Amino acid sequence: MGLLPIAEAPAPDVVLYPMRVLLKIQRRWREARMFAHAMKSKNHPIVAQIIPIRRCNLACTYCNEFDKHSPPVPTEEMLRRIDKLGDLRTSIITFSGGEPTLHPDLDLLIRRVRDRDAIATIITNGYYLVPDRIKRLNAAGLDYLQISIDNVLPDDVSKKSLKVLDQKLKWLSEYAEFDVTINSVLGSEIRQPEDAFEVARRARDLGFHSTVGILHDGDGQLKPLNSNQMTVYERIFGLGSGLFSFAHLDAFQRNTVRGLPNPWHCPAGGRFLYICEEGLVHYCSQQRGYPAIPLANYTKEDIIREAAKPKGCAPFCTISCVHQTAMLDDFRTRPRETLAGIIARRKERDPAWQPPASVRALDYMFLRDSHLREFFGAIALKLFRLSN
């Protein structure tokens, strides 16, 4: 048996497609394990956002998370930090910045996250994505990549534009074995709110997930949308539920865009950690300085204490990844009430709405009068090797 001659070799898509399906199934399985793990105990972080480099190649005028000069955090130090997050049993580790692809050993760092049995994600401006770079991210084992696109044409606020990035999106659609989410943005700094709809539509056309983010001020607080921006927001929402993640099923963001407070408890410092380039733990990108404890010394007691602390900034917070983390905790303590609330609120707005399969499965397991509920729970713990 030799190699197939080139003329008879299967076309790349024929090879790539089943491979992508297989990888997706594996990823969903690991996510399900992560979910079960998060449900089992609240004494570990669900998400840690870690900064491998503060420098960015762009300079979006609304951004307070970058500089133009910082060197990359040394690789050995980054590996120590990832190992520490692994020891704290962190489920998801997200590289952010600055621009994380400027770190020369990002692939090695991603690999280490996977070796520690966590889900590896990055948030990037996408400028350095070319086919070879995407293939190296595949090889490193990246699970998720998120790009924010702010407008259709670059302006003096932001160069993260569909025009500049569209070729990158096509390459991602062709080569990426990881999941891609495109985040469009609304807020007072964005000159053409209708661009957010074009970005969301393009994301859907290419088969990506799409989210919409609301710009916050320097404290992570909301700026309510005006009527024009609200119209665009509703149009994006109308593109279909398949575009939106679990968090968007909830009312958090709908209150946020209207400038209404959200009654929630922020678990930052415990279930969500932000690790700056100095290796200090902060609540989030917009509340740096609290508790500012070195990650190397962070303990389970710190996690429990900081997660429980009330945060004065919570009612008008727009940091959606922390909201999502909090929702998992709500689900953990009150699964039936949380899920029933999410479904009821969504149906109130759209009586014809049908929950996606994942929510229907949870609905069946938690909401129906099923004497099998405990049985399902026990099976899940066994399957995910989490039972005591």
**Positions in the binding site for ligand SF4 (CB under 6 A):** 56, 58-60, 63, 65-66, 97-99, 125, 160, 220, 266, 268, 283-284, 286-287, 311, 313-314, 317, 319, 322
Nearer to ligand SF4 by Cβ, of 34 and 123: the residue is: 123
Q: Note whether 99 and 126 are within 8 A (CB).
A: no
Nearer to ligand SF4 by Cβ, of 58 and 251: the residue is: 58
Q: Where are the alpha helices (DSSP H) in the chain?
A: 12-40, 75-87, 106-115, 131-140, 162-175, 194-205, 227-237, 252-258, 300-308, 320-333, 335-349, 357-366, 373-383
CB of 270 to ligand SF4, least distance (A): 11
Cα Dmax for the chain: 68
Rounded to whole angstroms, what are the CA distances from 56 to 65, 102, 300?
Answer: 9, 8, 33
CB of 171 to ligand SF4, least distance (A): 19
CB of 68 to ligand SF4, least distance (A): 10
Residue 199: which of 226, 165, 229 has the closest Cα? 165
Q: How far apart are CA 37 and CA 272, in angstroms?
A: 15
CB of 160 to ligand SF4, least distance (A): 6
CB of 333 to ligand SF4, least distance (A): 18
Q: Note whether 202 and 166 are within 8 A (CB).
A: yes
Nearer to ligand SF4 by Cβ, of 255 and 286: the residue is: 286
CB of 93 to ligand SF4, least distance (A): 17
CB of 206 to ligand SF4, least distance (A): 21
Amino acid identity at 362:
L
Residue 44: which of 370, 273, 220 has the closest Cα? 273
Nearer to ligand SF4 by Cβ, of 91 and 285: the residue is: 285
Rounded to whole angstroms, what are the CA distances from 219 to 9, 140, 259, 264, 288?
Answer: 56, 34, 15, 17, 9
Half-sphere exposure (Cβ direction) of 139: Cα atoms closer than 13 Å: 9
Residue labelled with tokens 């995407």: 134
Tokens describing residue 130: 């070319």
Partners of 67 in the beta sheet?
A: 55
CB of 271 to ligand SF4, least distance (A): 10
Nearer to ligand SF4 by Cβ, of 52 and 141: the residue is: 52
Nearer to ligand SF4 by Cβ, of 63 and 280: the residue is: 63
Q: How far apart are CA 357 and CA 241, in angstroms?
A: 12
Residue 102: which of 77, 67, 146 has the closest Cα? 67
CB of 197 to ligand SF4, least distance (A): 20
Nearer to ligand SF4 by Cβ, of 58 and 340: the residue is: 58
Nearer to ligand SF4 by Cβ, of 66 and 252: the residue is: 66
Amino acid identity at 311:
K
Nearer to ligand SF4 by Cβ, of 185 and 380: the residue is: 185
